[in-house]
Amino acid sequence: MKKIRVVVVDDSAYNRRAITRMLEELPGVQVVGYATNGEEGIRRVIDLTPDLVTLDLEMPRMDGFTMLRILMASTPVPVIVISSTSGDEKVFKALELGAVDFIAKPTSVISDELLKIQQDLHQKVQAVFKLNMARVQKRVEPASPAPEVTVPAVAAGANSSVDIVAIGSSTGGPPALQRIFASFREAPPFAMVVSQHMPAGFTTAFAERLNRSSGFDVREAKDGDEVVAGRALIAPGGRNLIFERSGEKVVARVVPPGLKDRYVPSVDVMFRSCAELYRNRMLAVVLTGMGNDGAAGVREAKKAGAQIIAESEESAVVFGMPREAIATGVVDRVVPMDAMVREIVLRCGLVPRFG
């Protein structure tokens, strides 16, 4: 099997050694070089042509953001950002610039605590084998001039045949979700709930970022939040999001992951919980991501009468989660990201309005 050749970019000598050691414990991975800043990192990438770069964001001379911009424009390569939770907004900026994923450092100071990221690092490096770099590049290219008919929105006062749209995503998910939420310029007549695989400490900033560009009221879910039309709840990092009836209302419950939950927040857990309450008034959406989270959930949702759509291989950064969902045989439609919002609106029984 071909080895994944990695360049490690970090201004801390301790971090470089620790990340190198963790990477080289993974079969099939070879660290071929390192750099102490973005300027040196670009030279290493050009000279060594690695399959993957791990990148710190805050470095002297040239920071990680500038390096990302230059790499994506000239020498595209998969980049995994390794950042502390104190830099949550910066992480999402890096994802928009083309980083394929990120890993949260447990502390911003030099410490053996860094070794706790090993399992997460191994999982995300393995995703590189299945990564569609062309899709990453497409998502960071400057948008072409908007055509006369652009983004579907929902006519005011319309009634939806769906009460809740539940979305699951992982690698490549944040930019995809940003695109979906930004497409809704007005609050639609249905609720949305999202489980995006993400560690604790990042989802508050992520929800705030989505909220700034959307007609939805987007917030990180808190225990007891009511599920209402026009509101979107983002599962907190490291926790699962489920729902229960409280009188006439449906409220969110934020719960610890189960021992068998490999991916957290769990898409399967959220889909099952939605299906129990909403049945045929639920739409489940599986976006880009590694692994099979969501596959069991879509089976349960379909049994309850829900509609299911999945992102196509044409646009998915990693086609793992959509492929596994499609393999269940219960997916109603497979669509590229360019058509995703239109499909969601139509499956809610609404007539799109453009402009």
d(CA 174, CA 192): 15
Residue 334 sits at φ, ψ, to 5 deg, of -115, 120
Query: Residue 154: in which H helix or E strand, if any?
Result: strand 152-154
Residues annotated as catalytic (active site), given as ranges: 170, 197, 293
Give 79's strand partners: 53
Please check whether residue 147 is in contact with residue 116, taking contact to mean a CB–CB distance below 8 angstroms: no
Structure letter (DSSP) for residue 228: -
225-to-38, 167, 212, 244, 342 alpha-carbon distances in Å: 43, 18, 20, 11, 28
d(CA 248, CA 250): 7
CA 58 to chain centre: 22
Give 165's strand partners: 192, 283
